[in-house]
Amino acid sequence: MSEAFSPKHIVVTGGAGFIGSNFVHWVAGNVPQVHITVLDALTYAGNLENLEGVPGDRMDFVHGDICDAPLVDELFAKADACVHFAAESHNDNSITNPAPFVRTNVEGTFTLLEAARAHGTRFHHISTDEVYGDLALDDPARFTEETPYHPSSPYSSTKASSDLLVRAWHRTYGVAATISNCSNNYGPRQHIEKFIPRQITNILCGIRPKLYGDGKNVRDWIHTEDHSSAVWEVLTRGRIGETYLIGADGERSNIDVLRAILSEMGKEADDFDWVRDRPGHDRRYAIDSTKLRRELGWQPIHTDFAQGLRQTIEWYRSNQQWWQGAKEATEAKYAKQGQ
C-alpha cells in the first residue's frame, strides 16, 4: 500500500451535482483540514442548492467548464489533488444526443489530465461499472478490476474512453492517478430524471410510476455516502495507477426496487405502468469490491437498503421545493420519448 496522502486543497469537478455534492458534504464533515474548490458548469444536473450547509470558509465555488483549459490550469496550480466527478451521465440523454457526452466525458477529462500533468496534481477519476457492459441475469459472476471493457451506450463508451485516457496519462506521463468504478448510487440530491427519484417524485405528484421493459434488469445499489467514503480511501490510500471497484453488495431488480418504493409510500405493488424498453438496455450490473475492502479496509455503512430507501423517500418528501421546478420539464421529455 502507498504511504497515506494527506491533501490540503482539492478541486472537485461536478461538485454541485448529485454524487459530487454528497462527496463535498462528506469531506467537509469528516476531513476538517481540507479546503475544497468546486468547479461546476451548472448544467441542468448541477444545483448550487446542493452545496448549502457546507461552511463558507471550507469551500470556494467556481462556475466553469472542465473543457476550459486556462481556467482548469489556474485551479490546478493551487491544488494538490483533483477528484473528477463531472460528467454527462444519463443513458437516455446519451442515446438522444451523444455530442455533449463526448465533449464533457472525453475532452473534459483530457483537459483535466493535461493540467494534472503540468502541475503534478494528484488525480482521482470517478467512473462507472457500465464500462464493463452487462451480465446475464443468471450469471453468478460479478465485475472485477480485470473485467474487459464492453460498453454498450454512448454514455458508457465515453466513460470507458475517459478511463483509458487516465491510464495512458499515468503510464506515459507519470500522472499520479487512480480510478474508481462504482455501481448505481442513490440518496439525497439526485436529479429526478434518474430511476429512484423519478419513481418517488411521480408518486408524490400523483403520477403513476413507469417501468422499462420487463423490469427484471438488475442494478447494484450503493448509498452515495458510502461511495463518498470509499472515494476518500482510494484518493488518500489507494495505489497510484490502480483501479478500485466500489460496491456494497446491493443487487436488486428494477421491479423489486419500484415495488419497495410503492410499498413504503403506501401504494399497491402493481400501481405502475409498463413502458417500452430503451435501446441497448443493459440487463445486469454487479460489483465485486473485494480489492477495495482487502487493500484499504473499507466497509459500507448503509447496508440496510430498505432503511436507506426510506430515508431517501423522506428527503424528497421534505424537499419538494428542490425538485418541483424541474419535474414538469423532465416528464415532458420522457413523454416525448414514449417513456
Q: Which residues of 142-157 are buried (b: 16+ CB within 10 A; e: fewer)?
A: bbeeebeeebbbbbbb
At CB < 8 A and 24+ separation, what contacts does 162-169 make? 162/87, 162/105, 162/106, 162/109, 162/125, 162/127, 163/125, 163/127, 163/131, 163/243, 165/106, 165/109, 165/110, 165/113, 166/109, 166/113, 166/123, 166/125, 167/241, 169/113, 169/116, 169/117, 169/123
In sequence order, the 6+-apart residues with CB closer than 8 A to the CB of 7 are 34, 79, 80, 81, 122, 235, 236
155 catalytically annotated? yes
52 catalytically annotated? no
3-state DSSP assignment of residue 302: coil
Q: Which of 40, 65, 134, 155 is catalytic?
A: 155
Q: Which of 65, 129, 282, 331 is catalytic?
A: 129
Q: Which of 40, 88, 130, 193 is catalytic?
A: 130
Its sign, for the CA torsion 186, 189, 195, 200, is positive
3-state DSSP assignment of residue 123: strand
3-state DSSP assignment of residue 94: helix
Write down how long the chain is: 339
Quote the cell numbers at residue 63.
462556475
- Using alpha carbons, list the distances in angstroms from residue 144 to 132, 151, 235, 289: 9, 15, 19, 7
129 catalytically annotated? yes
3-state DSSP assignment of residue 305: helix
Neighbouring C-beta atoms of residue 336, cutoff 10 Å: 9
Q: Which is nearest to 260 in space by CA: 193, 199, 181?
A: 199
Q: Residues with catalytic annotation?
A: 129-130, 155
